Structure 1
C-alpha cells in the first residue's frame, strides 16, 4: 500500500523517461494487484503531481476506497494517539490515519517516505506516519521507497 509521499518521491526522483524499466516493473506490480493506494492518497498524488496521477490512471492503479472498517480503524488509531476532535498536533493528519488504517485493514505493507522521527515526541499526537505504524497496537510494516526497491531485488536496466 503506497502513500502519496512515496509515489511522488518516486515520480520526481526517477523520471519515467530515464528509468523506464522501473516504471514498467511498477506497472506490472499494479496490474498483478501487488501495488495499490488508498483513494485519499491517490487524490493527493493527482493534486500535487498531475502527470503521475495521469500515469497511474493509465496503468489502472487500484485505488482502495475508504469503507466502514477503515473508518473504524482510523478512529481507533486517532484515540490511541490522544487526538480529540479535529485537534491534530504536529504529527499525522486525518488522511494519514485513513491511509495507515487502509494498510492495517488490508494486511498490507505500507510504503511511505515521510521522515522517521529519531526521537519520538512526548505526546503521541505529534507522531508522524512511521511512528504511528510502529505502535504495538497498530503494527503496520512501514518502509520507504528505496527499502521497497531493495527488498524487491529487481535489477533495472
Structure 2
C-alpha cells in the first residue's frame, strides 16, 4: 500500500491536468479503487482546503481515507518527542502536526509515503527544522519506507504509469 501526502496530489492536480495526462490519472484512479493508494485524513483535509476540485475527484474515485487512530496519535507523539517539539512549538521550516499524523499513518499501516517534498541538502542541527523526508529517514525509520515522487519529470511519472499497468 502507498499513502499519498497532500503536497503530491495537489502538485499533480495543478501541473498535470486530467485532460492532458489521462494515463497518469487513470493509473491513480485504478490504484485508489484497488486500495493500493490511500490518503490519511489530515492530508485529505489539506487537499480540501487547497483544491476543492481535487478533493472532489479523490472522493469520486473512492480513495481510502485512513483515520487518525489511537495508534497513529501515539506514534505521532513519539515522533514529536524525538524531534524535540514541546507545547506544540513546531518550527516554521519543519514538519507540523499534520505532517506527523501523515507520517504516523504511513508507519502504522506499513505503507510507503509519497510526498512532493525534496530531501534537505543538509540536515539542520535543530531537528524541529526537519521536513518529511528527514523525519522518515532519520527520526522515524522503518517500518515506513519513504518514496518521494516529485512529479516534475513527466516522462518518469508516465513511464511509471505504464510499468505499473503491466505489473498489475
Q: TM-score, normalised by structure 1?
A: 0.92
42, 52, 55: which one aligns with 2:54: 52
User: Pairwise CA RMSD of aligned residues?
Assistant: 2.0
Match of 2:115 in 1: 112
> 2:117·2:133 contact (CA, 8 Å) conserved in 1?
yes
> 1:46·1:53 contact (CA, 8 Å) conserved in 2?
yes
1:131 and 2:134 correspond: yes
SS of 2:4 mapped into structure 1: coil
Number of residue pairs the alignment of both structures matches: 156
Deviation at 1:144, TM superposition (A): 2.2
Match of 1:76 in 2: 78
Deviation at 1:10, TM superposition (A): 0.9
Distance 1:142 1:151 in 2: 20
Deviation at 1:86, TM superposition (A): 1.2
More strand by share: 2
Runs of at least 4 residues off by over 6 Å: none
Q: TM-score, normalised by structure 2?
A: 0.86
1:30 and 2:32 correspond: yes
1:154 and 2:157 correspond: no
1:4 and 2:6 correspond: yes
Unpaired runs of 5+ residues, structure 2, are none
Distance 1:109 1:94 in 2: 19
